[in-house]
Structure 1
Amino acid sequence: MKIRPAVRRRSIRDRRDPLLTALTGLMLLYTLLPLAWLVINASKTQEGLMDSFGLWFAGDFALFENIATTFTYDGGVFTRWLLNTLLYVVLGAGGATLLAALGGYGLAKFDFPGKKAVFAIVIGAVAVPGTALAVPTFLMFSQLGLTNTPLAIIIPSLVSPFGLYLMWTFAADAVPREVLESARVDGAREFQTFFRIALPLLAPGTVTVLLFNVVATWNNYFLPLIMLKDPAWYPLTLGLDAWNKQAGTAGGEAVFHLVITGSLLTIVPLIAAFLLLQRYWQSGLTAGSVKE
C-alpha cells in the first residue's frame, strides 16, 4: 500500500513528459519559423520573392548578391546605420552595464541611510515601461538642445533599473565580505577593490546584464523615432523601417528584398553574442537561486 503513491506520482510524471515535449516543440517551431522564413527569402531575388512560396527556396540563390547590394545601396547608408547602432550599443549598453555593476555592488555591500527608499525607487523604476518616459525625455532633451544627436540615444540608454536590481541581488552573494575586508586591510582603495577583486567575481551577472542591455539598445525603436530626424544618425531599426515604407510606395518594390536581407544581417550580431556568452549568461541567471 505504501508503494502506490510513489507509483502514481511516477506515472503522472511519465504522462506529462510527452505533453511538455510537445509544447516545447511547438514553442521551438514558433521561434524558428520566422527565422527560417527570413533566411530563405533573403536568398531570393526580387522576382523570386514574388514568384515562389515563402517557406521554400527559389531557383536562383542570390544571398551574397543581396548582401552586397544591401551594403552599397543608396551610397552605403546601411553601413552608416550599422555603425550608429554599434556606437549606441558600445556607449549606451556598455555604460549602463558598468553603472549597474558599480551601483549594484555599492548597494549590496555598503549600508547608508535611505537604503530602503533606494530599493523602493529601483523596484518602482523597473515597473515603469520605457515608452511612458519617452515623451518626458524628449521634452527635457529638447530644452537642452540634444535632440537629433547621438547623445539623445546614448544618455537614456545608460539608465537600466532592471540591470541595477539584478546586479544588486547578484553581488549580495557573489562577493564575500571577508574578501573585501582582507583587501581593505592590505591597503586597497575602494575602486581598486571593486575592479581587481569584486568585478571578476561579478562576471556572470555582468555578462547577463550586458546581454539584456545590448538587446534592448540594439532593438530600440521608439526612442530613436521621436529623438532623431536626420537619417545619418538612424540606427538599424529606423533605417530598415524607412526602407520598408519606401518599399510600400509606388515604384519602391525593388527595395523589399533589401529590407529582408537587412533584417537578417541585423540579427546576426545578436545571435553571435548569445552563442559566445551563453555560458556566462546561463550561470548569471541561475546565480542566487539556491540558498545554503
Structure 2
Amino acid sequence: MTATTAAVPSPAPALVPGSAPAVRRRRGATRPSPVSTAVLLVGAAYCLLPVVWVLIASTKSAGELFSTFTFAPSTHLLDNVAELTAYRDGVFWRWMANTALYAGVGGLASVVVSGMAGYGLAKYEFAGKKALFNVLLAGVLVPAVVLAIPQYLLLAQVGLTNTYWSVLLPSIISPYGIYLARIYSAASVPDDVIEAARTEGAGEARIFRSIAVPMMMPGLVTVFLFQFVAIWNNFMLPYIMLGNDRLFPLTVGLSGLLNQGASQPAMYTSVITGALLSVVPLVALFLLLQRYWQVDLAAGAVKA
C-alpha cells in the first residue's frame, strides 16, 4: 500500500519592504495629468465666475455698482433684498412661486410620462416601435424654441393661452427625458426579474410600480433634474404664452425689470439680486437629490 503525499501550497510571498514604492507608483499612475487638471480648473472658473460676480454685485448699492472695482464686495445685500421685496407689493416672490409651480409640477409630470414611455419602449415589443423611437430621436434634435410658436397657436385654439396650463402642458412631454428613461430602463431592469414577477402572477402595473421604478430611480431623478432646470430657465415659452405679469416666471419677470433699468439705472441692483435669489433653489435641489445618483442599479430589486 502506497501513501500519497498531499501537495502543500507554497506560502504567499512576504511583503518586501522595497515593494511599497512600486505600489505607490501604480496608484500614482491613475492621477490626472497637470494638463487635465489645468483644463478642469479653467472650466470650473469659467462656470463659477459669473456666479461669483452676481454674488458680489448683489451686495452693492446702485451708486457702487458702476463706480467700484468689479470684485470688491459691499454691505447692501439685505437692503437690496428688501427693496426687491417691496417692489410692486412683492411681485418678485410671486414670480418665484410661479416658477416653482411650473418647474415642480412640470418636472414631476414629465418624470411620470418619461418613465412609463421609456419602460414601454425598452421592455415591450409592438408594431411601429422602431419608427416611434426614431421619431423620438428626431424630437430630441429639435430645439424647444422652434416649437414655441406652434404650441401657442394650438393652445390659442382651445383658449388656454395666458393661463398656468399654457406653460405646464408643453413641459410635460420631454423627448430627451423619454429617451434617457428608455436607455436607463433597458440597462437597469433585468428581463429575468420581470419574467419572474409575471410567473408569480404580478400584473404589469404592479411590476412597473414595485420593481421597475425603484431600479430606475437614479435615472428618473436625473430626468427630473434636467426637466426642472430646463423649465426653471425657460424664457421663450412663457414669454410667448403669457400676457399677465402676475403669471410670469422669474425669467420673464426679471427680463422686464432689466428693460426698466435702461431708464431707471437703480433697477439694475434689483435685477442682479433677483438673479442671485433665483439660483439658490437650483443649488439646494442639486445638493438634496445628488445622493440618488449613488444608488446601485439593483438597489430596488424585489427579493422572492
Partner Cα separation in structure 1 for residue 150 and residue 296 of structure 2? 33
Q: Deviations over 1:125-174 (max 9, x none)?
A: 11111111111111111111111111110010011000100110110121
Q: What is the percentage of aligned positions where both structures have the same residue?
A: 43
1:274 aligned to which of 286, 292, 298: 286
Between the aligned partners of 2:295 and 2:256, the Cα distance in structure 1 is: 39
* Residues 140-289 of structure 1 aligned to structure 2 (within 5 Å): 140-249=154-263, 252-281=264-293
TM-score normalised per structure 2:
0.84
**Post-superposition shift, 1:281?**
4.0
Q: Write the letter of the residue equivalent to 1:91.
A: V
Does residue 41 of structure 2 align to residue 25 of structure 1? yes
Residues 208, 284 of structure 1: 8 Å contact kept: no
Q: Distance in 1 between matches of 2:88 and 2:63?
A: 21
1:94 has 2:105 as partner: no
Residue deviations 1:243-291 (CA, integer Å, cap 9, x gap): 1111112xx2221111001000001111111122224347799xxxxxx
Q: Give the AA of the match of 1:22.
A: A
Equivalent AA in structure 2 for residue 47 of structure 1: G
- 2:136 paired residue number: 122
1:187, distance to aligned residue in structure 2 (A): 2.7
In the superposition, the TM-score normalised over structure 1's length comes to 0.87
CA 1:170–1:185: 2 relative to 1, 3 Å: same
- Number of paired residues? 270
Q: Hey, what's the Cα distance between the residues in 1 that align with 2:87 and 2:47?
A: 30
Match of 1:70 in 2: 84
Correspondence for 1:39 among 27, 49, 55: 55
Q: Report SS of the residue matched to 2:213.
A: helix
CA separation in 2, counterparts of 1:184 and 1:154? 36
Confirm or deny: 8 A CA contact 1:174 1:202 kept in the other structure: yes
Q: CA deviation at 1:62?
A: 1.6
- Alignment partner, residue 84 of structure 1: 98
Larger radius of gyration: 2
Gaps of 5+ in 1: 1-9, 286-292
Shift of 1:236: 0.4
The aligned counterpart of 2:117 is: 103
Following superposition, the deviation at residue 66 of structure 1 comes to: 1.7
RMSD of Structure 2 on Structure 1 (CA)? 2.1
1:94-153, Cα deviation, whole Å (9 max, x unpaired): 101111001101111111111111111111111111111111111111111111111110
Q: Does 1:132 align with 2:146?
A: yes
Residue ranges of structure 2 left out of the alignment (5+ in a row): 1-25, 298-304
Counterparts of residues 49-68 of structure 1 (less than 5 Å): 49-58=65-74, 61-68=75-82
Deviation string 1:77-108 (CA, Å, 9 cap, x unpaired) is 01110111111112211101111001101111
The CA distance in 2 between the partners of 1:44 and 1:284, in whole Å, is 46
Q: Indicate conservation of the 8 Å contact 1:108/1:171, yes or no.
A: yes
Q: Decide which structure has greater helix share.
A: 1
1:242 positional shift: 0.5
- Equivalent residues of 1:153, 1:223 under 8 A apart: yes
Cα 1:283/1:126, change in 2 over 3 Å: farther
> Is 189-198 or 228-237 further displaced after alignment?
189-198
